[in-house]
Amino acid sequence: MKISLIIPAYNEEKYIGACLEAAIKNSHGAFHEIIVVDNASTDKTAEIAGKFPGVKVVKESRKGLTRARQRGLKEATGDFLAYIDADTKMPEGWAEKAEKIFSKNSNIVSVSGPYRYYDSAFMNIIMRSIWAVSAPIMYRITGYMILGGNFIAKKDALLRAGGFNENVEFYGEDTDIAKTLSRQGKLVFRMDFYMPTSSRRLQAEGVIRTNIRYAVNFIWEVIFHRPYHTKDYKDIRHDN
């Protein structure tokens, strides 16, 4: 598999170094290329990322997660695109596990899984319990699920789907692309395909509030075909 690893990053100077170190160390050369999309950062994110040999830094001046993901899609040359967040620490064998899953069924277009939290044992226990109950149920009901900071997809499937909808700012963006990709083939969501990440957002916003926001936007996407938190919604796709 020719995998391009894409890492959107906005003001991530405190995390991007550790993220790249883990990805490079634990992938054992599995990635065809590593691309950091500097999404209008005002700190040293790009400078730090640029110090890693073989890491390509591209700038996306239009702030927004989906815009950064779309820029990564345009820049990547791999047949498979892996998206992770800048505050993650890729575990050993992550890319190899994805390859094995894809090899089992040619109709699979995406593989994703949940987060685990490396900086808070309490958050890790709480969120693993929530994921264990909610994710299998929602995946079985809808037939599709993607976690935006932990997934790999076939590039041609993303292109056929029109890429990422840049009108979706943040909440609901992963459900939006999951629903769109599900029309191109099978989406796999496995609990053992996890990605360690920081619990900083949970601690800043609160576990209950964060989970409610994600749940509401997931439901709105599934039922009303748009995220709850996106105003003046329009499905902006790309002619690829």
pLDDT of residue 102 exceeding 50, the answer is: yes
Report the DSSP beta bridge partners of residue 4. Answer: 33, 81
106-152 pLDDT, tens digit per residue, is: 999 999 999 999 999 999 999 899 889 888 888 888 888 999 999 99
Please name which of 108, 118, 117 lies closest in space to residue 151, comparing C-alpha atoms. 108
Beta strands in the chain (DSSP E): 3-9, 31-38, 55-59, 80-84, 108-112, 115-117, 150-154, 186-189, 195-197
Give the per-residue pLDDT at 239: 47
User: Parallel, antiparallel, or unpaired: how do β-strands 108-112 and 80-84 relate?
Assistant: unpaired
189-216 pLDDT, tens digit per residue, is: 999 999 999 999 888 888 777 767 767 7
Give the per-residue pLDDT at 100: 96
Architecture of domain 3-224: Alpha-Beta Complex (3.90)
C-alpha to C-alpha distance for 213 and 171, rounded to whole angstroms: 7
CB atoms within 10 A of CB 49: 26
